[in-house]
Amino acid sequence: MREAIVACRSAVVRVLSPDLGKAGTGFFVSPGGILLTNCHVVSTIVLTANGELELRYSTGPQVEYEGRWQQARILHSLESTHPLYEDYAVLRIDTAAQTPWLTLGEYGETEPGDHILTLGFPLGIDVVSATQGIVSAKFEAPSPENALFRRRVFLLDASVNPGNSGGPMIDIRNRRVVGMVSIRLGSLEPHIRGLELLSPTGTNPLVDVLVDALKMSNQLLNPGLGHAISIEYARAELRRRGLAVGGVQ
C-alpha cells in the first residue's frame, strides 16, 4: 500500500473555484497538464429570473501544483441547458515541464471485494490524504443532480469526505484509475445545494443560518461509504477530443 501511495500521490492536486466557493480534488492523466475532476467542483446550478435552471461554470478555476496555485482552463463542459448527469470535467494547466500522471483503467476490471485506494484533500487538509478499502458493490445509480439518468458507480467502504470530490479511485493491483470519487453516501450536500438554489445566499437570513448549520453537520457526518463514478465517461470524452493522455488508447 505504501508503494502505491508514493507512486500515485504526486499526480493528485487540489482544485479550487474561488468565485463559487468550492474546493475538491483532481488528478493528472497526461504529462501535458490535462487533469480530471468532478463537474460539481467547478460549476454550480442557479435559478434564473425566468425560473429556469442554468449550469454555470467557474470563471477562474485554480489548481495547486508544485506548491503554487495556477490558473486552469476547462476543456470539457456541458451546455448550460444540458441535463447535469456527467459529473466530470476536463481541465488543463500550462506548464513547461511534464506533469506526473495516472493511468486510466476500465470499469469491468475491478469487482466487489477488490482492494482500492482513494487520494484527495478532505475537510480542507492541504496535503494529499489516502484512504483504503474494498469495493462493496458496483451497480447503476441515478445521478444525484438528475435522477432520470443512471450511471455506473462503485460503492466504497473507504472514508469519503467533503474535498474528496474528483479524486481518483485506484485499483491496488495495477495502480490504474477505475473510478472518480463523487459523493459520500448519506451526504447532506444535495439538500444544501437545493436550499441554496431556491434561496441564494443573502436572500433569506433564516435559510442562510440553516444552510450554515447543515454544512457544519455535513463535515462531521460520515457513515463510511461513498460512491465513485466509473472512469469510462471521462475516458470516452478524452478519446472524442483526441487528447494525448497517458493510458488512453
| pLDDT at position 174 | 94
- pLDDT on residue 249: 44
Question: How confident is the model at residue 160, as a pLDDT?
Answer: 82
The residue range of the domain holding 43 is 2-101+232-240
Same-domain pairing of 54 and 84 = yes
3-class secondary-structure state, position 79:
coil
Domain-located, residue 209: yes
pLDDT < 70 regions, the chain: 77-85, 144-147, 184-198, 201-202, 214, 216-224, 244, 246-249
What is the model's pLDDT at position 55? 80
H or E element at residue 4:
helix 2-8
Residue 245 belongs to some domain of the structure: no
Same domain, 87 and 170: no
Say whether both 127 and 150 belong to one domain. Answer: yes
DSSP string, 105-136: --GGG--TT-EEEEEE-GGG-SS-EEEEEEEE
Q: Hey, what's the cell of 183?
A: 459523493
Structural domain includes residue 247: no
Is the residue at 248 inside a domain?
no
Could you tell me if 23 and 71 lie in one domain? Answer: yes
Picking from 166, 186, 4, the residue whose alpha carbon sits closest to that of residue 91 is: 166
User: Of the candidates 245, 235, 38, 60, which has an alpha carbon nearest to the alpha carbon of residue 121?
Assistant: 38
One domain for residues 20 and 59: yes
Residue 153 lies in a domain: yes
- 130-142 pLDDT, tens digit per residue, is 999 999 999 988 7
> Who's near 108: CB < 8 A, 6+ residues apart?
none
pLDDT tens, position by position, 191-205: 666 666 667 766 777
**Looking at the domain assignment, is residue 249 inside a domain?**
no
DSSP state of 157: -
Domain identity same for 122 and 207: yes
Q: Does residue 246 lie in a domain region?
A: no
User: Phi then psi for 231, rounded to 5 degrees?
Assistant: -70, -10
Residue 204 confidence (pLDDT)? 75
Same domain, 86 and 138: no
> Helix (H, G, I), strand (E, B), or coil: what is residue 87?
coil
For the entire predicted model, the pTM comes to: 0.82
